[in-house]
Amino acid sequence: MDTVTALVEWFTVPMRFEFVQRALLVSVVAGLVCAVLSCWMTLVGWSLMGDAVSHAVLPGVVLSYMFGLPFALGALVFGAGSVALIGVVNRTSRVKEDAVIGVVFTALFALGLVLVSRVPSQTDLSHILFGNVLGVSDTDILQVLILAAVVLAVVWYKHRDLTMYAFDPVHAHAIGVNPRLLETLLLGLLSVTVVVALQAVGIILVVAMVIIPGATAYLLTDRFERMLLIAMAVSVVASLTGVFTSFHLNVSTGGCIVLAQAALFTLSYLFSPRQGVLWRGRTARALRNRS
């Protein structure tokens, strides 16, 4: 009985604090949106793109603070701008895409670092880089909710086209649907999602939020609809676990959320019914022994 009480209190005690409730709201909403997008990111193979966009928003965030604008505005401009810049340099030079991505996002990140060091102290670099979900303001929450709703609505409306693009862009082209437009749409969604997620875990760890849930779900199912649901479940569980753990241990919230995601990924990597490395090893041995 004591352990049950302790367990219940483990959840209820932090909930008495308003800042915990707000952190949970932001983390879960960000987790949901990231999870949805992560399914396409995993299938298209855009983890590096996610990393790039998240780092490239730094100067946008800093400039927003400088001019007293909502941080999402600057972040969106630089997120989308970095994607456009990557596309242009990639098409107009012989440098390969991953190198272009590497050049563009590090350059923009560096610009952000330089700007931060010129700005008065109200912008705290470590909060932007590592997240500050326990201290989110009302405007932050409002921005997160609006952007999350926009992403989810667009995805709900266009999910079949996005999956067709991820699976076979040439077929999309052949039936008169412009794959370039779908790619742009997906990159735009990625930019917005990154802005949502960096409230929860900070710039550095955003890429985890838009990759790990999808990658975890991919190991567990062969059906896209189930992959979406599993990714969302993984992400929400990780957000809850992360926030509560970080409260009790007094450690980084973003770090805890991503660690929880990584733990869930590891479990599915090892124990997935069909893809788990443990069973696969055993099946291979069984087959060898039989023959």
Partner 1 sequence: MDTAIEVQGVTVRYGDVLALDDVSVSVRAGRVCGLLGMNGSGKSTLFKTVLGLVAPDRGRVRVKGLKSAAARRKGLIGYVPQSEQVDWAFPVRVRDVVMMGRYGHMGRRRRPRPADREAVDHALARTDLTDLADRQIGALSGGQRKRAFVARAIAQNADVLLLDEPFAGVDKRSEATITDLLRQLRRAGHTLLVSTHDLSQVPALCDEALLLQGRVIAHGTPEQVLEPDVLLEAFGIHTTEGTPWTR
Q: What are the residues binding partner 1 (CB under 8 A)?
A: 43, 157-158, 160-161, 163-164, 166-168, 170-177, 218, 221-224, 226-227
Nearer to partner 1, 171 or 248 (CB): 171
Nearer to partner 1, 142 or 153 (CB): 153
Nearer to partner 1, 108 or 215 (CB): 215
The amino acid occupying position 264 is L
Q: Smallest gap, in angstroms, from Cβ of residue 162 to partner 1?
A: 10
Length of the chain: 291
Nearer to partner 1, 248 or 274 (CB): 274
Q: Smallest gap, in angstroms, from Cβ of residue 36 to partner 1?
A: 15
Q: Smallest gap, in angstroms, from Cβ of residue 148 to partner 1?
A: 20
CA dist., res. 226 & res. 230, Å (int): 6
Residues 6+ positions from 125 with CB-CB distance below 8 Å: 113, 116
Q: Smallest gap, in angstroms, from Cβ of residue 228 to partner 1?
A: 10
User: Taking Cα atoms as reference points, which of 50, 53, 107 lies closest to residue 84?
Assistant: 53
CA dist., res. 143 & res. 137, Å (int): 10
Nearer to partner 1, 155 or 198 (CB): 155
User: Taking Cα atoms as reference points, which of 25, 238, 34 lies closest to residue 137?
Assistant: 25
Return the structure tokens found at 65: 């603070």
For CA atoms 164, 165, 171, 172, give the dihedral sign: positive
CA dist., res. 24 & res. 256, Å (int): 13
Q: Smallest gap, in angstroms, from Cβ of residue 178 to partner 1?
A: 10
